[in-house]
C-alpha cells in the first residue's frame, strides 16, 4: 500500500468520524491495494461486485448496456472517490453494470465480509459511511432533478462549473452519456458557445 494512498483514505475517514491511532491501524489493514490499466474492467455485468473501491489515483466509469447494445454511463469517478456497484456489493447478487478504467488507476479495496467485520471492530465507521451515503443520496436527488427538469445546455454548463477537471481527462463521448445526451448533441451545444 502506498503511503499517499493510505493517507488520502484516512483523511476522509477522520474528517467525519473521530478515529483513534489503534482504529486507524485496524482500518488500514482491512484494505488491499490494486491497480488497473486503462480500458480494463474492474467489474463486468453478471458478476457479483466483490469489493468497494477507493480510487487513490486515476479515473473510472460505470455504465450499463441496454437491449440495443448502447452503453449508458451513470458514473464517472476520479481520485479520492469511492466506486463500486453498491447494489450488487451489498446484496451479493449479479451486477447489471460494468466498471471500466478510463486511465491507469490505483485503488484500495475491501470485501463485503471484511467491511462487515470492520464495522464490528470500529463501530465509529458506521458514522462515516452513514454521512457518506447521506451526501451521495442528496447529490443523486439533485442530479435527478437536473436531468428531469433542466435542459441539456444547462446541465452541460453546470458540469463545466462543477467538474472542470473531467473535461481535461475524460473523452467527450463519455461526458455526453453521463449528461444523458448523444455526443452529437454535446458537440452542437459546445459549438454554440
Indicate the residue among 9 and 52 with the shorter CB distance to a copy of itself: 52
Which residue, 9 or 170, is less far from DNA as judged by CB? 170
| Per-residue interface string for the shown chain with a copy of itself, residues 104-123, x marking contact by CB under 8 A | ---------------x---x
Closer residue to a copy of itself, CB minimum distance, 57 or 64: 64
Residue closer to DNA by CB (options 59, 118) is 59
Q: Can you tell me which of 69, 148, 164, 191 binds a copy of itself, judged by CB under 8 A?
A: 148
Q: What are the grid coordinates assigned to 158, written together?
A: 453546470
Q: Is 149 in the site for a copy of itself (CB under 8 A)?
A: yes
93 binds a copy of itself (CB under 8 A): no
DSSP 103: S
What would the grid cell of residue 26 be? 485496524
Q: Check if the beta carbon of residue 125 is closer than 8 Å to that of residue 31.
A: no
Which partner, a copy of itself, DNA, none, binds residue 21 by CB below 5 to 8 Å per kind?
none
Q: Which of 31, 182, 17, 47 lies closest to 106 in space, CA to CA?
A: 31
- For 160, list phi and psi in degrees, rounded to 5: -60, -35
Measured from the CB atom, the residue of 123 and 171 that comes closer to a copy of itself is 123
HSE-up (13 A, CA, CB side) for residue 135 = 8
Would the CA dihedral through 173, 176, 182, 184 be positive or negative?
Answer: negative
Alpha-carbon span 27 to 18, nearest angstrom = 13
Q: Is 163 in the site for a copy of itself (CB under 8 A)?
A: no
Q: Is 138 in the site for a copy of itself (CB under 8 A)?
A: yes
Helix 183-192, helix 152-162: angle, nearest 10: 80
- Residues that bind a copy of itself in the complex, under the rule CB under 8 A: 64, 66, 72, 74-75, 86-87, 90, 119, 123, 126-127, 129-130, 133-134, 136-138, 140-145, 147-149, 180
Amino acid at each position: 500500500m502506498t503511503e499517499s494512498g493510505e493517507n488520502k483514505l484516512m483523511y476522509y475517514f477522520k474528517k467525519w468520524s473521530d478515529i483513534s491511532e489503534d482504529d486507524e491501524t485496524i482500518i488500514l489493514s482491512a484494505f488491499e491495494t490494486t491497480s488497473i490499466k486503462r480500458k480494463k474492467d474492474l467489474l463486468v455485468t453478471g458478476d457479483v461486485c466483490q469489493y468497494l473501491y477507493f480510487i487513490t489515483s486515476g479515473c473510472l466509469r460505470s455504465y450499463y448496456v441496454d437491449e440495443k447494445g448502447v452503453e449508458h454511463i451513470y458514473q464517472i469517478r476520479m481520485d479520492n472517490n469511492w466506486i463500486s456497484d453498491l447494489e450488487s456489493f451489498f446484496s451479493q447478487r449479479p451486477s447489471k453494470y460494468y466498471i471500466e478504467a478510463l486511465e491507469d488507476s490505483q485503488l484500495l479495496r475491501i470485501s463485503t465480509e471484511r467491511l462487515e467485520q470492520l464495522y464490528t471492530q470500529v463501530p465509529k465507521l458506521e458514522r462515516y459511511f452513514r454521512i457518506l451515503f447521506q451526501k451521495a443520496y442528496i447529490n443523486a436527488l439533485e442530479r435527478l432533478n437536473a436531468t428531469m427538469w433542466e435542459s441539456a445546455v444547462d446541465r452541460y454548463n453546470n458540469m463545466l462549473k462543477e467538474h472542470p477537471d473531467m473535461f481535461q481527462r475524460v473523452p467527450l463521448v463519455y461526458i455526453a452519456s453521463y449528461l444523458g445526451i448523444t455526443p452529437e448533441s454535446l458537440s452542437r451545444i459546445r459549438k454554440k458557445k
